[in-house]
Amino acid sequence: MTLVEIAAAAIEGLAAIVFFSIPVAGVPVQLIVLWLAAAMVFATFWLGVPQLRGFALGWGALFGKRQDASAPGGVSQFQALSTALASTVGLGNIAGVAVAVATGGPGAIFWMVVIGFFAMALKCAEVTLGLMFRDELAGGRVVGGPATTLMRGLASIGFPRLGRRLARFHAVFMIVGCMSLFQVNQAEIQAAAAFGFEAPALFGLGFAVLIALVLLGSIGWIGRVTGRLVPAMCLLYVAACLAVIGANLDALPEALVKIVAQAFDPVAVAGGAVGVFIIGMRRAVYSSEAGIGTAVVAHVQARTREPASEGMVALIEPFVDTVVICTLSGLTLVVTGMYMEDLTGVAMTSAALATVIPGAPAILAVVVFLFAYSTVLANGFYAAEAFQFLTRHSRWHELGFKAAYCAALPLGALLEPGQILDMVDSAFFLMAVPNVIGIYLLAGPLRREVNGFLARHGQARVVEERT
């Protein structure tokens, strides 16, 4: 066997392990998805449904209430959320929803919303822990993320060796998992389809330069860019979906009934109600990234002295990403009837938008580019922070890594994703293993922090302290 063949076999083997599936109601469900879904349910009930108790407090903190300019952190809580959303709001909201509806029918949208609700609690948990154990370096720079949480958090409860090993495991796979060749590839394909721009090498080089202009700066600069870019791209896509839904208002009641009815239909497509639930759950888990830990790296930069405050801001992230944007994507497909056509992915969404909006493919190309750009930018920051964790936070190491990250991006426009995607996706979801273990082991301190914050700000403690 050649070296390429050996590497290909290794990647395929890794993907087979990470994405090992078991059949449920005739539908293969990946164990990593069950691992994350179980953690979402645990966080919801262990923390006393923070999605409801802390939702208003999160919005209040997001828009300036209780801000402390002297608190540690490099960006505002709004900018931290924008950077995190830059990673999670992406092609999954466009293509992923279409795949779910094409495979599981309209009922999959209902279960995506349900799982998105539970994902809010898991995101709150991991971000709160991230701020509880973040580290302030000399000069006031703040660092943190799942690796820091695992190392410092587990040491605080008597498991320093386990914490170090899990932290290194997570950091290594964050570097690999945050390589964003797929996003560059999809942006180039959509640009070629919409505008006839078929110069992948030039596109990839230009994309890399645009990323470098922001990524090589500080977290403050990244936060300012994402703070403007993320709301703009979300509003553009949401406006397009609302225009289509508005033009089909007469079909909306029937669409809503269909979504709910097929979610529980025992003879629905893809293995009945259980199969539709699994499809919706899988897409929601992938979309929200709750439990993976990547967004924690952005949220720990928020200026606040109360870790749970940023946890409440963070639970807004799956709400916007999965509950709002994915639902609008799904409704757009159902009211136009495009989910019944022989289309999938971006092509289905593009066709649905084109029923009402002239030039929809071009608009979608802009949206895809913005989504891809923001995701690559956030992932580059995450990967650089993980690299710094392994190299003891050297500034020169950071700049060198970011430059190398940008230099690799043009490959995304030149290569077929194929086995590279298998490797990146496998590494991405392997991060969930140590991250969720850390959440379980630190569940006691986590609940005390969340309940204490909610009590201080007038929320009844519905979960009695037992630890």
- pLDDT tens digits, 107-125: 888 988 888 899 999 999 9
Structure token digits, residue 36 = 């994350």
Distances (CA, A) of 227 to 62, 75, 231, 320: 12, 10, 7, 15
Beta bridge partners of 233: none
Better pLDDT: 69 or 248: 248
Lowest mean pLDDT among 52-61, 225-234, 281-290, 454-463: 454-463
Written as six digits, the tokens of 70 are 């002297």
Residues 125-130: what's their mean pLDDT? 96
Lowest mean per-residue pLDDT among 58-67, 150-159, 291-300, 318-327: 58-67
* Cα 146-152-153 angle, rounded to 5 deg: 75
Helices 107-132 and 327-336, axial angle in degrees (round to 10) = 170
The yes-or-no verdict on residue 82 having pLDDT over 70 is yes
pLDDT tens digit sequence for 234-273: 888 899 999 999 999 999 999 999 999 888 876 555 556 6
DSSP 139-163: TS-EE-SHHHIIIIIHHHTT-HHHH
Statement: residue 361 has pLDDT above 60: yes
- Fold classification of 12-456 (topology level): Amino acid/polyamine transporter I (1.20.1740)
pLDDT at 252: 94
pTM over 0.95: no
Report the distance separating Cα 410 and Cα 407, nearest Å.
Answer: 7
Which residue's structure tokens are 């190309």?
A: 365
pLDDT of residue 184: 83
Q: In the predicted model, is pLDDT for residue 467 greater than 50?
A: no
Write out the two tokens for 268: 């629905």
pLDDT at 374 over 70: yes
d(CA 447, CA 53): 13
The rounded distance, in Å, linking the Cα atoms of 316 and 114 is 15
The backbone torsions φ and ψ at residue 28, rounded to the nearest 5 degrees and listed phi first, read -70, 130
Which value, to the nearest 10 degrees, does the dihedral of the CA atoms of residues 344, 348, 350, 352 take? -170
DSSP-derived 3-state class of residue 24: strand
Q: Give the integer Cα–Cα distance in Å for 296 and 398.
A: 18
Residues 314-350 pLDDT 10s: 999 999 888 888 899 999 999 999 888 887 677 788 8
C-alpha 414 chain-centroid distance: 25
Beta carbons within 10 angstroms of residue 5's beta carbon: 9
Q: Which residue has the higher pLDDT, 33 or 27?
A: 33
Q: Where are the domains of the chain?
A: 12-456
SS3 of 302, please? strand
Terminus-to-terminus CA distance in the chain, angstroms?
56
Which one-letter amino acid corresponds to residue 117?
A: F
**Tokens at residue 252, please?**
């909306």
User: Is residue 135's pLDDT more than 90?
Assistant: no
In the predicted model, what is the mean pLDDT of the chain? Answer: 83
Residue 180: is its pLDDT beyond 50? Answer: yes
pLDDT digit string, tens, across residues 170-179: 999 898 888 8
For 138, the 3-state DSSP assignment is coil
Question: Judging by beta carbons within 10 Å of its beta carbon (0-12, 13-18, 19+), is residue 20 exposed, middle or buried?
Answer: exposed
